[in-house]
Structure 1
């Protein structure tokens, strides 16, 4: 089982890489997935991040469908999932399944505050 603090799922390579690098520089173990299908493969393969930062609009498997799969899976339903989206307001059903929402463009300070406030007890303590 892969130990990750945070899984960043976004089809925009610039956003995905920037978030990943910034979080790694803060000391987090970060996994990256280019779409919901790649993220599902990681999760089905045993990755158990404390936090999933999930874009909604993606090819292959969109964020809403991935979130629904996560919540329907007994092994994964406890994962902390935060939507990171450019949509002004995600659909109510999707928003209700998420642990939080960040609106793009996001700042690193907003992401770090969210990690601490929403999922801090599940993310490994930083030295």
Structure 2
């Protein structure tokens, strides 16, 4: 069964690029347009293997989403990667992000990072 990945990104174009790359990698993709919707998707899909989130979004930003995921019982070890071109990426790592995928990124680069996080180390 394909690993489920939740993408939380308000920019529809970026979300579409991430979705297409992940689908090429045979992952099941669930989308959300802001942090609040991302939390809802996480509740709907507790078997989610990884979250990819933007930082700057309306309604609930990526920092608040990250904080809530890390505070949630049973989700503190869930890999959360931040999509960012912003200097806030360093702050995201300090707040518990697993890693940063810097914009602009290539689909191949994105897949390599995600595979590295999800596939068992040999």
TM-score (norm 2): 0.87
How many Å separate the matches in 1 of 2:88 and 2:59? 22
What stretches of structure 1 move > 3 A for 4+ residues in a row?
A: none
TM-score (norm 1): 0.84
Shift of 1:120: 2.1
Residue 60 of structure 1: aligned partner: 59
Residues 100 and 118, structure 1, Cα contact 8 Å, conserved in 2 = no
1:104 counterpart = 2:103: yes
Unaligned runs of 5+ in 1: 122-127
Shift of 1:91: 4.7
Shift of 1:40: 0.7
Residues 88 and 103, structure 1, Cα contact 8 Å, conserved in 2 = no
Q: What is the number of equivalent residue pairs in this alignment?
A: 118
Which of 88, 93, 96 is residue 95 of structure 1 equivalent to? Answer: 93
Residues 35 and 65, structure 2, Cα contact 8 Å, conserved in 1 = yes
Residue 14 of structure 2: aligned partner: 15
Unaligned runs of 5+ in 2: none
Q: Aligned to 1:106, what secondary structure does the other structure show? A: coil
